[in-house]
Structure 1
Amino acid sequence: MRASRMLPALAGAAAAALVAVPATAVVPAAATAAPADGTYYVQSATTGLNAADSDGAVEQHRPQGDEDRQQWLLRASGAGHVLESVDGAGRCLGRESGDARVVDCASSAAVWAIDDAGEDRHLLREPGTERFLTVRPKPSGGNYPAGLGVGGASELTRWYLTPAEPVRRPLPPAGERTLDQLSFLTTHNSYANGVDGGFAPPFINLAPNQVRGIEQQLADGVRGFSFDIHQTPDGAILCHNSCFWVSSPVALWVDLQRIVDFLNAHPDQVVTVFLEDYVDPEVLRSEIERVNGLPDVLYDPARTGVRQNGWHTLDELIANNDRLLIFTDHSRAADTAAGLTRDEFGVMYQREWTVENYWSMGPGIGDSDWACYSRWYGAGENIPLTRTEPGFRPLFVMNHFRDVPVEATARTDNANALNRAQRFCQPAARKKPNYLMVDRYDVGNPAAAVTSLNGYWY
């Protein structure tokens, strides 16, 4: 881990100059439309991964801030532009035969014509040709290759030029702030707290993800909760991996009732629940039906035009009493085959409404991995953090925790959450986190990071 990660104050000072064009902005097509000279990430619109200098080759790597030779200094060069590596003076992103390579900036192979592809995307074209910087096609059953190339125009040749230090916009007035412009403190494995009941076999209970119960979390300002649910003869039960050997386990409906009761007592609040979901849809529906008052506050964006018109303002959600969002990570396809989809009873499929970075920063102690890349990127699926649709921005869940919740490590990680969010995850997703999900929210003051994130819109 670089020492710079431990300097959140520097990150905050640098961020004071930041403001950004929303990733959904649609720019009218033009022959050429290069952004202003400056430092950028060259980010695939298909995979969300960044072009990196890898010992002379140019490969797509997981977004990793300024730590992996992924930043390029864009400047005009004759009728075109060059992209010089910030980490190697005189070394530019270029081409050699059909490969993307790092070449001498004085070479004609380093010059690109930058064409506007719309929606803030660009084509990097070899001047005088119809050959473009491209992600190579995905082989059957595999991931996209790391090595980038030069080829004919396709969806794989569309790139974001994402500023390394984007400018920030001030939030709209309080009554006009939409859900996707706001950030919320969110607890990882909220139920695994050692207060409300058992959640794992005794030896795992020694390392709870949280140490305060759900009601205290709500009182402390937590507004996002993540629950692992497993199926037993008693219904949907909250526990880690398996409910076997768990003493005094808690049912999902019990914690949902705590949340609904809080919402009824605080009519100006909105809460989101994320389910790591291992139960049949009928079991989940039965569990939800046990919660008194839940239908009155449940928010269903599919029935209120969100995908067509964007997210509602917080004030609209409060006025309409649409104040509880429930997401599942379960597969819609599996539910469709079973004959009952969860959105029929108000539970949203997370992949359709959110993007989310990979869940772990590493083991419980030692250096952390701050790379910020999609949890849902692999041979079987590809949902980049940069995904947008016309008029609609998916909510961004930023996972910021380790494999094992160690208090001292969580304290350090949480104290640096804003640093990682601004320097790594915001440029990786081209939006700020809407949900900052942490272990041990009671140490390291991650709430302060959320407060800072709520001071602007990117």
Structure 2
Amino acid sequence: MLDMYDFNGDVWLCHSLQGQCYNFTAFEPAIDTLKELEAFLSENPTEIVTIFIEDYVHSPMGLSKVFTAADLMKYWYPISEMPTNGMDWPSVTDMVAKNHRLLVFTSDASKEASEGIAYQWSYLLENESGDPGITGSCPNRKESQPLNSRSASLFLQNYFPTIPVESEACKENSVGLPQMVETCYAAAGNRIPNFISVNFYMRSNGGGIFDVQDRINGLTLCGCNTIAACQSGAPAGSCKDTGAPNRTSSSVNGNVYSGTIEFKSHASSATSNTNIWSNFVGLLGLVLICQAVLIFQDLAFI
């Protein structure tokens, strides 16, 4: 997630207000971060990166110029091949084979026609950020279609308070997160999030965001309760014994929690899908707030 603005005659990363970047809110020229991204993609030829741009760039072709200057167009996922109307995305294998390893979405609808940058609300569902995203019923962000819509195939779940407090992050990322994942799962019509956006991602009182990711990815990929239990080529539900101790579970609103998350209905459908290894499968991505990139690893994309 990157906020991009016109500033000092260039495109800058800036977290600002009222569409205007100032000296005290500016971070660095966008080209600096994008060159780091190019180096990462060059050094890691099987990785895929997604960028969501909060777009305040009004200079003609400003975004296209900065991505071109960073030598990133060779990785660009073209709009012409993006699935529409809720259709599935290709596997990581296919994306890597075509070198379509950089997905870029903008909040400015005009950029899709003028610069070939995908308008995020045509492809993405998103819940309300800030406090509504950490408690309550998981309402959709006003720019987004309803979370249970099937006309967009990606789901970004925001999970961070309006005012971030680092000392509270351990509790939020360990207790509140799995419960809100389940709440948003229900609000989205039993759709598991493709991305989870958090603050202080390294902080937790246990497994935290990484444990939630591992469990969701395992469930989606092979019907197991952690991705470490998946076995390549095995039928769905054939899980390795990882030697991990059983966790104490509790029931919340009829759903099971083990410090992370379980989706009973989705698990049953996953285990019945004998072709899950050859079909599109979802791999949860972690959005690092105020970081440059979102990185996917192994097996399948979103």
Q: Name the TM tier (shorter chain).
A: 0.5 to 0.7
Instruction: Structure 1: give runs of 5+ residues left out of the alignment.
Output: 1-225, 336-340
Separation in 2 of the partners of 1:298 and 1:233? 27
Separation in 2 of the partners of 1:411 and 1:299? 36
Instruction: Structure 2: give runs of 5+ residues left out of the alignment.
Output: 221-265, 267-302
Maintained 8 Å contact 1:238/1:250: yes
Per-residue CA deviation, residues 70-93 of structure 1 (Å, 9 max, x unaligned), is: xxxxxxxxxxxxxxxxxxxxxxxx
Matched letter for residue 231 of structure 1: D
Separation in 1 of the partners of 2:102 and 2:25? 29
Aligned to 1:237: 12
Separation in 2 of the partners of 1:275 and 1:250? 15
Maintained 8 Å contact 1:343/1:349: no
Aligned to 2:67: 288
Separation in 1 of the partners of 2:40 and 2:210? 20
Aligned to 2:188: 429
Separation in 1 of the partners of 2:7 and 2:26? 13
Aligned to 1:222: none
Residue 312, structure 1, aligned to residue 78, structure 2: no
Aligned to 1:446: 209
Aligned to 1:387: 149
Maintained 8 Å contact 2:12/2:26: no
**TM-score scaled by structure 1?**
0.43
Separation in 1 of the partners of 2:45 and 2:54? 27
Matched letter for residue 258 of structure 1: E
Separation in 1 of the partners of 2:39 and 2:116? 18
Aligned to 2:139: 373
| Shift of residue 370, structure 1, vs aligned partner | 3.5
Aligned to 1:410: 169
Q: What is the root-mean-square deviation of aligned Cα atoms in Å?
A: 2.3
Match of 2:101 among 307, 312, 323: 323
Separation in 2 of the partners of 1:304 and 1:315? 15
Separation in 2 of the partners of 1:247 and 1:384? 33
SS at match of 1:288: helix
Separation in 2 of the partners of 1:343 and 1:399? 28
Per-residue CA deviation, residues 326-370 of structure 1 (Å, 9 max, x unaligned), is: 11112x2xx2xxxxx34554421000010000011269xxxx524
Aligned to 1:86: none
Question: Aligned pair in 2 of structure 1 residues 376, 230: CA closer, same or farther (>3 Å)?
Answer: same
Separation in 2 of the partners of 1:231 and 1:264? 28
| Shift of residue 405, structure 1, vs aligned partner | 1.9
* Superposed structure 1 runs of 4+ greater than 6 Å apart: none
User: Matches of residues 104-253 of structure 1 in structure 2 within 5 Å?
Assistant: 226-241=1-16, 242-246=20-24, 249-253=27-31
Separation in 1 of the partners of 2:113 and 2:34? 17
SS at match of 1:443: coil
Per-residue CA deviation, residues 167-214 of structure 1 (Å, 9 max, x unaligned), is: xxxxxxxxxxxxxxxxxxxxxxxxxxxxxxxxxxxxxxxxxxxxxxxx
| Shift of residue 253, structure 1, vs aligned partner | 2.0
| Shift of residue 236, structure 1, vs aligned partner | 1.7
Separation in 1 of the partners of 2:112 and 2:81? 17
Match of 1:350 among 116, 120, 123: 120
Question: Aligned pair in 2 of structure 1 residues 312, 343: CA closer, same or farther (>3 Å)?
Answer: farther
| Shift of residue 412, structure 1, vs aligned partner | 1.6
Maintained 8 Å contact 2:201/2:209: yes
More helix by share: 2
SS at match of 1:436: strand
Matched letter for residue 210 of structure 2: A
Separation in 2 of the partners of 1:448 and 1:305? 30
Per-residue CA deviation, residues 14-34 of structure 1 (Å, 9 max, x unaligned), is: xxxxxxxxxxxxxxxxxxxxx
| Shift of residue 305, structure 1, vs aligned partner | 5.6
Matched letter for residue 291 of structure 1: A
Maintained 8 Å contact 1:326/1:346: no
Higher-Rg member (1/2): 1
Matched letter for residue 228 of structure 1: D
More strand by share: 1
Per-residue CA deviation, residues 93-137 of structure 1 (Å, 9 max, x unaligned), is: xxxxxxxxxxxxxxxxxxxxxxxxxxxxxxxxxxxxxxxxxxxxx
How many residue pairs end up in the alignment?
211
Maintained 8 Å contact 2:107/2:121: yes
SS at match of 1:419: helix
Maintained 8 Å contact 1:275/1:329: yes
Identity score, percent? 26
Separation in 2 of the partners of 1:344 and 1:427? 37
| Shift of residue 234, structure 1, vs aligned partner | 2.8
Question: Aligned pair in 2 of structure 1 residues 455, 370: CA closer, same or farther (>3 Å)?
Answer: farther
Matched letter for residue 31 of structure 2: W
| Shift of residue 248, structure 1, vs aligned partner | 7.1
**TM-score scaled by structure 2?**
0.64
Separation in 2 of the partners of 1:329 and 1:268? 27
Separation in 1 of the partners of 2:25 and 2:56? 20
